[in-house]
Structure 1
Amino acid sequence: MEKRRNRPASGIIVKTDASCIIDGTAHPGIPTVVWPEGIDEVASDYLRYLVISTGAQSSSAYEYAKILRIFLRFCREKSRRWDSVDDQFLTVWREHMRRAKRNETQRINTSLLAVFGFYRWAEETSRIRFHVGIYDALDAPADSPPRKFPISATKYFVKSKRGRVYGGFTTRLTLRISRSSQGNKHTPTEEESRRIHALAMDRRHGERNTLMYSWAEETGLRRAEILRVRLSSLPTYDQIDELTEEDASWRIVLRRKRGGTWFVNVPADLIQRTLEWVEFGRREIVARCRAKFIAYQDPDFVFISSTTGMPLHPDSVTTLTRRDFAAAGVAKASLHRFRAKYCIDVIETLLDSIFDQHPLQELHSGWAETILVKAAEMMGHTSAISLKPYLNYVFNRKIRLADATKERKLNLDIRHLEQRRVQLMKEVDRLSELTKETSSSTKRTRTSRHGKPKAAKSSK
């Protein structure tokens, strides 16, 4: 089994290897939570259920394992049994994440939903009984009083594309995300992107790190998808020369999060840089690991750790990007925002293509949907609707930068300046009149106080 580095007292996550056979099928990568006294059987059963019964990817199950480990560690610190947890304790944990750990609202909600899913599974599998309120009112006898469950739940309904309605239960304890805080992630500008790459390149293994940033920026791949790029999917130098001459791209096949595949077109220049990294920077890492580790096998992945020589871990990529983005002064951004930058570039290109062929007034009513569907196809999105905010962003930016908008803004600025000039002239006139009135009032005051001025004495 493969161990993840962590403090033993805090619990560790162990992942199964290929020797884990369930129903005749190998299941490597299933996470297991282990405490100093042994395996956490309930949590580990749930994680195995996610992979075996629901078909979740082992990487997704590992993310659930990290959340469960944090929560169960909090239970142990507070001397609270997992099967005695109630809404009050979950609220204490929520406020601990919000106030002590300074976690973002979205992260807090994700953690609460993950833990609620664990308790819902425990209720459904009779590991706890009548502890989670996942029961319809119709299930209870008509004359029975309403029952208060330690962990409350609220029912929701979802309508599928085919019109079928599905129901389920979720926790009531999530925090509300205000509209102003939604979409507040920053997409790096071209200048900020250059600054991030320049700072990252000056660091150790900067060539590898900036190359990962370029894959996100130029192909729109997610973090996990970038780390799945294989050596065997890259072309040879002869094939690259042909691509360069034809100004074409290289197509690779990647496995998606839910097990599907996606064909990605990679620019020839990016492939060229990748081959150079494999030839020099990556080769040095492999050579060091072969000298350091007995029976070391070079993995068929492009991006590997400089310490272990194994595929780079997603958490390591997150740490690297946070450091480089912060050093470049780019806040509220991450590697995923490079993907957003690619999305904006794709939509803007499609928008320009349509507008070059047809004036806006001649476009059919479905032009926006056409752009979103095509962009979703290019980026591997399952839903085109999720790209709608990017289309609105690009369209609004084009309106701001249009010549007509510039001219209108210039006219408004001139009008405002003219109005300001008139206001200033009136203010000057008013001050002038006020000065005259003040001077006259002063003279009258002196006259009334001392009477008429005395006549000058005549000289004899």
Structure 2
Amino acid sequence: MIGGNAFPKIPTLVWPEGIDEVPSDWLRYLVVWTNVATSSAYEYAKILRPFLRFCRMRGRSWESVDDEFLIFWRERLRRSSTVADGRVNNCLSVVFSFYRWAEETGYLRFHVGIYDISELPPYVDVRRFPISAKKIFGKGRHGSTSVSWVTPLTISVSRSSKGRRHTPNDVETMMIHEVAADREFGERNTLMYSWAEETGARRAEILRLRKSDLPTARQLAVGDNEDDKWPIDIVRKGGGMWMILAPAELLRMTWDWIGGGRADLVRRCRGEIHGYYEPDEVFISSMTGMPLHEDSLTTLAKRDFAMANVQKASLHRLRAKYCVEMIQALVDALFDGGLVVGSTSSWVETILTMASERMGHMSPMSLHPYLNFVLDRKIRAAEATRAQSMKSDIRLLNRQRTALRRTVELHAHLRDVAESIERDDGNETARLIRQLQIEVNEYNGKRSQSEQR
């Protein structure tokens, strides 16, 4: 309880001798003051805790860490594990954010270089900050300029080494579902994947889904349109509310799981766990009967994607697949005349804004790569269609050229016949007419065989 309000699930770092107060204060600050989701704070804790353990193993207090030690830790991450450079940079950024907060709140003093020269007293040497910082400028949502400080110790990652994440296609998605369905609790797992694929919901949003959020089985039975989509309010990342549209068939499958496999898990937990109570969340753990943890869902998806041989993809890429399909539908509607663009906005802005509203994205521009992907695919399809059309045109032109050549040859023969008649050369005229008759018969025979084929 903080200020009379409940903040459950704030992560706290604990060592054998007790709570690590300063890092725990930072995690509490993130959730309470900056409204960071507890799931995000938990991810930060999973980065900060190994770093602080690294400090303890080397007898280094967190207050004495400097650039040299950070580089030492960075290189140990790169060389002693399979951590990618992008992940190393992310870890450095999280640790730097902790130190920047410690400097701003007075836990440290002139230790992190987040100052302009004009702000420093004369006795501070600007070249001797133990932890260096770099100022960056950015544009706000309404054109305002924002200033921030970042660590300059991150690794330069080339575009080729980053690796592009893969969005599964329909065939690959089917393989993922088949692999998941063949495993224990496959009905639950493939259903969670379907919620990501069919609604674009995030991992945390899927796991927050409750029975009380769903339309009842009676309501679904009344609807006779299989294409109906039901609006469902769910708690989104950051604690806000977001509405997703769930297909009726997906909801029927969910109720089948609730009345079948989930009900079996609940009965077993009631018999084996003293004081067990059934949660309202739809997706529960097979071990505890309580809501499934996000890390468990990540592990299940990672295993099933690997077994289906879908590389460079994760559960979140099913959400990306939904996003691509939605933008594809908007683009098709635009080109077919079914999407109206306002007089004060461009068609790109209209599509990205509509897509961001449906996906629960704060920034429409974050979906720009998906629009580029859809347009690129549409262009390639158009080029393929055009190439096929050109092949057809070439075939028709060849046929027309052949017909014209025969016509020209026929006219040449008729000219020769006319000239022989004018010369009153009966024998030559008869020969030319017989030759013309033979060639006409041959041409008609070849044409008949071609039409039969």
Query: What's the TM-score once normalised by structure 2's chain length?
Result: 0.81
- Determine the C-alpha separation between the residues in 1 that align with 2:172 and 2:129: 51
Q: CA deviation at 1:194?
A: 0.5
Equivalent positions of 1:417-436 (< 5 A) are none
Partner of 1:444: none
Change in 2 beyond 3 A, CA 1:164/1:401: closer
For the aligned residue pairs, the C-alpha RMSD in angstroms reads 2.3
The 5 Å alignment of 1:357-372 reads: 357=337, 366-372=346-352
Percentage identity across aligned positions?
56
SS in 1 for 2:14: strand
Contact preservation (8 Å) 1:400, 1:406: no
> Which one of 61, 75, 80 corresponds to residue 95 of structure 1?
75
1:406 — aligned with what?
Answer: 387
Distance in structure 2 (CA, Å) of the matches to 1:385 and 1:396: 17
Distance 1:243 1:103 in 2: 50
Residues 399, 405 of structure 1: 8 Å contact kept? no
Task: Determine if contact 1:289/1:308 at 8 Å carries over to the other structure.
Answer: yes
CA offset digits 1:161-202 (Å, max 9, x no partner): 323222121111112232334560011111111111001100
Letter of the 2:232 partner, please give it: I
Which among 272, 294, 299 is matched to residue 292 of structure 1? 272
Residue from 358, 362, 367 that aligns with 1:382: 362
Give the match's secondary structure for 1:31.
coil
Matched, 1:197 2:177: yes
Q: Which residue of 2 aligns with 1:27?
A: 7
* Distance (Å, rounded) in 2 between the aligned partners of 1:150 and 1:219: 48
1:216 paired with 2:193, answer: no
Q: Separation in 2 of the partners of 1:290 and 1:242?
A: 33
Q: Which has the larger radius of gyration?
A: 2
Q: 1:396 aligns with which of 359, 376, 383?
A: 376
Say if 1:410 and 1:112 are closer, same or farther in 2 by CA, change over 3 A.
farther
1:242 equivalent among 222, 225, 232: 222
Unaligned runs of 5+ in 2: 396-453
Q: Tell whether the 8 Å contact from 2:193 to 2:315 is kept in structure 1 after alignment.
A: yes
In structure 2, the residue matched to 1:122 is: 102
Q: CA deviation at 1:121?
A: 1.4
Aligned with residue 212 of structure 2, among 232, 236, 260: 232
**1:188-246 C-alpha deviation (Å, 9 max, x unpaired):** 11111111100110001111110011000000011111111111011211111123436
Aligned pair in 2 of structure 1 residues 48, 60: CA closer, same or farther (>3 Å)? Answer: same
Tell me which amino acid in the other structure corresponds to 1:169.
W
Moved more, 371-380 or 319-328: 371-380
In structure 2, what is the Cα distance between the partners aligned to 1:144 and 1:45? Answer: 28
C-alpha separation between the residues in 1 aligned to 2:371 and 2:196?
Answer: 19
Corresponding residue for 1:70? 50
**Cα distance between partner residues in 2 of 1:301 and 1:393:** 35
Q: Which of 356, 364, 373 is equivalent to 2:336?
A: 356
Indicate which of 23, 26, 46 corresponds to 1:43.
23
Given the superposition, is the C-alpha separation of residues 408 and 99 from structure 1 closer, same or farther in structure 2, using an over 3 Å criterion? farther
Structure 1 letter corresponding to 2:173: S
How high is the TM-score relative to the length of structure 1? 0.80
Q: CA separation of 1:235/1:135 partners in 2, compared to 1, >3 Å: closer, same or farther?
A: same
The answer as to whether partners of 1:134 and 1:153 remain within 8 angstroms in 2 is yes
**Post-superposition shift, 1:407?**
2.9
Distance in 1 between residues matched to 2:192 and 2:391, nearest whole Å: 43
1:129-148 equivalence runs, <5 A: 129-141=109-121, 146-148=126-128
Question: What SS does the corresponding residue of 1:333 show, helix, strand or coil?
Answer: coil
Cα distance in 2 for partners of 1:52, 1:379 equals 26
Report if aligned partners of 2:113, 2:126 keep a CA contact under 8 Å in 1. no
Residue of structure 2 equivalent to 1:252: 232
Give the counterpart of 2:35 among 55, 74, 79.
Answer: 55
Aligned to 1:110: 90
- Conservation of the 8 A alpha-carbon contact between 1:220 and 1:339: yes
After TM superposition, give the deviation of residue 384 of structure 1 in Å: 1.2
Residue deviations 1:26-50, cap 9 Å, x none? 2211111111221111111111121
Distance in 2 between residues matched to 1:146 and 1:110, nearest whole Å: 26
Change (3 A) 1:69 1:410: farther
Structure 1 distance, partners of 2:386, 2:58, is: 60
Q: Which amino acid aligns with 1:173?
A: L
Which residue matches 1:177? 157
Residue identity matched to 1:86: D
- The corresponding residue for 1:433 is none
Residue 276 (str. 1) matches residue 256 (str. 2): yes
Residue 131 of structure 1 contacts residue 150 of structure 1 at CA under 8 Å; is this kept in 2?
yes
Residue 126 of structure 1, CA deviation:
2.0
Distance 1:196 1:248 in 2: 26
Residues 226 and 249 in structure 2, CA contact (< 8 A), matched pair in contact too: no
The answer to whether the Cα contact below 8 Å between 2:231 and 2:244 also exists between their aligned partners in 1 is: yes
For residue 95 of structure 1, report the CA deviation from its aligned partner: 1.7
Q: 1:333 aligns with which of 289, 313, 318?
A: 313
**Which amino acid in the other structure matches residue 357 of structure 1?**
G
- C-alpha separation between the residues in 2 aligned to 1:339 and 1:302? 19
May I ask how many residue pairs the two structures share in their alignment?
Answer: 390
Contact map agreement 1:243 1:249 (CA 8 A) in 2: no
CA drift of 1:354 comes to: 1.6
2:26–2:101 CA contact under 8 A, matched in 1: yes
Displacement of 1:142 in angstroms is 6.6
Structure 1 residues 227, 32: closer, same or farther in 2, change over 3 A? Answer: same
Shift of 1:77: 2.1
Q: Which residue of 2 aligns with 1:437?
A: none
Query: 1:287, CA displacement in angstroms?
Result: 1.2
- Give deviations 1:234-269, integer Å, cap 9, x for gaps: 121111112343631111101121222111110001
Alpha-carbon spacing, 1:168–1:296, altered in 2? closer, same or farther (3 Å):
same
Q: Distance in 2 between matches of 1:170 and 1:325?
A: 35
